[in-house]
Amino acid sequence: MAEVRLIEVRQEVLAENRQEAGDIRARLERHRVFMVNLMSSPGSGKTSLILKTVRALKDAYRIAVIEGDIDATVDAEKVAREGIPAVQIRTGGACHLDAPMIAAALGELDLAALDVIFVENVGNLVCPAEFDTGASRKVVILSVPEGDDKPLKYPLIFSVSDLLVVSKIDYLAGSDFDLEVLGQRAHRLNPGMQILPLSCRTGEGIDRWLGWLGAEIDAFRKRKG
């Protein structure tokens, strides 16, 4: 019987992505640019949170946004209307952003003129968790209407994220969403992950989000000189 040769394509792709992500991280560190990768399901409020954040911080930091979508440019256009540089990545069907895509987007930005980059990943709780983008911090957003069981169904994204933002908490009244139960489920996977409930509609919790972000940016800058 002839020898069967096995090619582990997936492992090879992930290894190459990790190498590129490391190069991106080093490049951002040289320019002292802090990059946040925002991951969530579609409709969880990523764009709303980015817009709230941009409006609050654009006088304090030089900000750019990288938008990932399968096809549309609508979110990048919303960001651009705020006077913020925006790069749209149209994945053409891919369900995530990876390091080569981010490297291409960074090539469209003047890193010397930036302090912070927000990456709005493709709406998906599965694939984005597997691909390192070179971001300084990973944030997963879970909206109240999605339910508190998502750490049970999609454990990886909660395992690799630095912060869990619980969005749309104005829907808590009358729902069966349990913040305490969510916290228990998330912390079984990732004991060190912080959990931050907020509502872009009412503004509740936004100050805490901005405080977390400011502290992370300051710590990054101190580490990088």
Q: Is the pLDDT of residue 185 over 70?
A: yes
In whole angstroms, give the CA distance from residue 166 to residue 199. 8
Q: Is the pLDDT of residue 7 over 60?
A: no
In whole angstroms, give the CA distance from residue 71 to residue 22. 27
Q: Which two tokens stand for residue 107?
A: 């090539």
Using one digit for the tens of pLDDT, what is the confidence trace for 204-218?
999 999 999 999 999
Query: Is 201:170 a contact under the CB 8 Å cutoff?
Result: yes
Using one digit for the tens of pLDDT, what is the confidence trace for 59-74?
999 999 999 987 667 7
Q: Which two tokens stand for residue 140?
A: 């997963």
Of the pLDDT bands very low, low, confident and very high (cuts 50, 70, 90), residue 5 is low
What pLDDT does 170 receive? Answer: 97
25-34, 62-71, 107-116: least confidently modelled range: 62-71
In whole angstroms, give the CA distance from residue 117 to residue 65. 5
DSSP code at position 125: S
- Global pTM reads 0.92
Q: Check residues 80 and 187 and name the one with the higher pLDDT.
A: 187
What pLDDT does 225 receive? Answer: 65
**Hey, what domains does the chain have and what are their CATH numbers?**
21-218 (3.40.50.300)
| Measured CA distances, 32 to 13, 50, 67, 140, 214 (Å) | 28, 20, 21, 23, 14
Q: Check residues 92 and 144 and name the one with the higher pLDDT.
A: 144
Q: Check residues 46 and 11 and name the one with the higher pLDDT.
A: 46
What pLDDT does 10 receive? Answer: 66
First to last CA, the chain: 61
